A = this chain, B = another copy of it.
Amino acid sequence: MDLENNLFMIPGPVKIHPRVLRVMSKPAMGHRTPEYRAMIKEMTENLQYLFQSKNEVTLISGSGTAGVDCIITNLIDKNDKGVVVHNGKFGERVFEMVQFYGKGSNVKGEYGKAPDLDALAALVEKEKPKILGVCHNETSTGFTNDAEKIAKIAHDNDALFVLDGITAIGGIDVPCDKWGVDAAIFGSQKCVAAPAGLAGVMVSPEAKKVLHDNKSMYLHLRKHLDKWMKESDTPYTSAIPLFLAMSEALKMLKEETLPARIKRCARLGDACRAAATAAGLELFSAKGFQSNTVTAIKYPAGVADDKFRNILKDKHNVMVAGGQSEMKGKIFRIGHMGICSMTDMCGTWGAIEATFKELGYKYEYGKATQAVVSYM
């Protein structure tokens, strides 16, 4: 596979625009300088635009998981209760964190299916937890949870609502203030199409009030928020080239506009689902909950995951993802967030069709690509 010239269709890291790549090659910038603070000030506005929120925001130099950790560790102390509703690998990770730091309970949904929100409401009512957490868009299964409903369950029970929006925010409509999201996280390498290595974090005044400040020096959320919002600065040296890249990626998102990007992702999702269906394939996740930023597709009988993805990579220079953990071998996943285009989708399905043909999976070849074209 050509690592620098291909169709990069995994659900993150995603393709990075040359404009964004280029700013990372700027000479070293000092982080205690007016230009650094000017960059942060501009990013603050763009991050709030992205979160659809007037709340405090910041960037954590670390992965998306660092962002979730930064929220959970500062909200949940060992005697704090947290409820997590999850139906996939990343929701499980949120639950693990709550258990790790405090007292966790959960509603576990089947992978790819809508979790039982009545059971959730009952559990939250019973537990009266400090937080209710969910992984909004399950990257592992291409499932979008009904975050608005879950937010309501939280508020009805005076719990703070924590949203892991790592592959949602910037690709799916997540109106944080409208829904009353108290803490949200996105990953830099996902819908904003920046390089991996940063987590964007948003915190409501209600959540900020009850942060524990004794849990982590590096992930000291209040310090991060205060330094950022009051001084347009960071408590520690940040990953400066990634900040430059994020700054540019956010500008590009704003140029496209958030509604336009969300609409584009929706159309890519429609096209991807139509292509899968046209090829006689089954989507992994339930209808009505299928994600617009990542599509999980069941392998047809007789098609082996490793062979399929190796041919796609080695012969067609197309990278898609397989399933994780218990999903391994059962599904493949196509990412369609960030700056992914419909021509990318068309080329991807062309390659998938050729690969299915090579592997002997039979259906009316050409129909999948044709389905994509109908969305172009």
Contacts and interface: CB of A to CB of B under 8 A. Distances in A.
A350 B346 contact: yes
Nearest to A339: B5
B376 A353 contact: yes
Interface string A194-209: 0000000000000000
Interface stretch (A53-61, A172-180, A367-375): A367-375
A342 B316 contact: yes
Interface stretch (A17-25, A70-78, A293-301, A302-310): A17-25
B370 A365 contact: yes
A369 B343 contact: no
Contact of A373 (B25, B339, B344, B365): B365
Contacts of A344: 347
A262 to B, nearest CB: 18
B373 A366 contact: yes
Interface string A306-349: 00000000001110000000000000000000010111101110
A370 B353 CA distance: 9
Contacts of A316: 342-343, 376
A4 B248 CA distance: 14
Interface string A1-26: 00011010000000101110000010
Contacts of A343: 7, 316-318, 347-348, 350-351
Given A351-B346, A366-B366, A4 B18 contact: yes
Contacts of A7: 343
Interface in A208-237: none
Contact of A370 (B15, B341, B369): B369
Nearest to A375: B354
Interface string A350-370: 110110000000000111011
A362 B176 CA distance: 46
Contacts of A5: 15, 17-18, 339, 341
Contacts of A19: 4
A261 to B, nearest CB: 13
Contact of A365 (B15, B18, B365, B374): B374
A3 to B, nearest CB: 9
A28 B318 CA distance: 36
A58 to B, nearest CB: 29
Contact of A347 (B18, B347, B374): B347
Contacts of A25: 25
Contacts of A346: 346-347, 350-351, 369
8 contacts: A4-B17, A316-B376, A342-B351, A343-B350, A346-B351, A353-B373, A366-B366, A366-B369
Interface of A: 4-5, 7, 15, 17-19, 25, 316-318, 339, 341-344, 346-348, 350-351, 353-354, 365-367, 369-370, 372-374, 376
